[in-house]
Amino acid sequence: MAVAFLPTLARGLRHPLTAPPRAVGRCAPRLVGAPATVSRRRLAATPPRMALRVTPVPTLSDNYAYLITDTVARKAVAVDPAQPARVLAAAAAAGVAITEVWCTHRHPDHSAGNEALVAALARAPAAADAAAAVAVVASGVERDGIPVPGTTVSIRDGAAGRVAGTAIGWEAIHTPGHTDGHMCFVVRDVSVPAAAVDVDGLGADAPPVTVGEGGEAVVVVPALFSGDALFLGGCGRLFDGTPAQALASLDRLVAALPPATAVFCGHEYTETNLRFAAAVEPRSAAVAAAADRVRAVLGDAPWGDARRGTSVPGWMGVEAGVNPFLRVREPTVAAAVGKEGGDAATVMGALRRWKDRF
Per CB under 5 A, residues contacting Zn ion are 107, 228
User: Residue 70 or 228: which CB sits closer to Zn ion?
Assistant: 228
User: Residue 143 or 308: which CB sits closer to Zn ion?
Assistant: 143
The least CB distance from residue 236 to Zn ion, in Å, is 6
Which CA distances in Å does 98 have to 95, 190, 250? 10, 17, 30
User: Residue 100 or 228: which CB sits closer to Zn ion?
Assistant: 228
User: Residue 171 or 228: which CB sits closer to Zn ion?
Assistant: 228
Distance of CA 331 to the CA centre of its chain: 28
DSSP E strands in 194-307: the ranges are 210-211, 217-227, 262-265
The least CB distance from residue 226 to Zn ion, in Å, is 11
The least CB distance from residue 81 to Zn ion, in Å, is 15
Q: What is the DSSP letter of 71?
A: T
Is residue 289 classed as helix, strand or coil in its secondary structure? helix
User: Residue 107 or 252: which CB sits closer to Zn ion?
Assistant: 107
Which CA distances in Å does 357 have to 5, 75, 249, 260? 39, 42, 23, 32
The least CB distance from residue 274 to Zn ion, in Å, is 20
Which CA distances in Å does 127 have to 103, 137, 352? 21, 19, 45
DSSP E strands in 95-182: the ranges are 97-103, 135-139, 153-155, 159-162, 169-174
Cα 135 to Cα 153: distance, rounded to the nearest angstrom: 7
Residues 6+ apart with CB under 8 A from 267: 62, 63, 64, 228, 231
Longest dimension (CA), the chain: 62
The least CB distance from residue 266 to Zn ion, in Å, is 7
User: Residue 238 or 348: which CB sits closer to Zn ion?
Assistant: 238
| Residue with nearest beta carbon to Zn ion | 107
The least CB distance from residue 107 to Zn ion, in Å, is 3
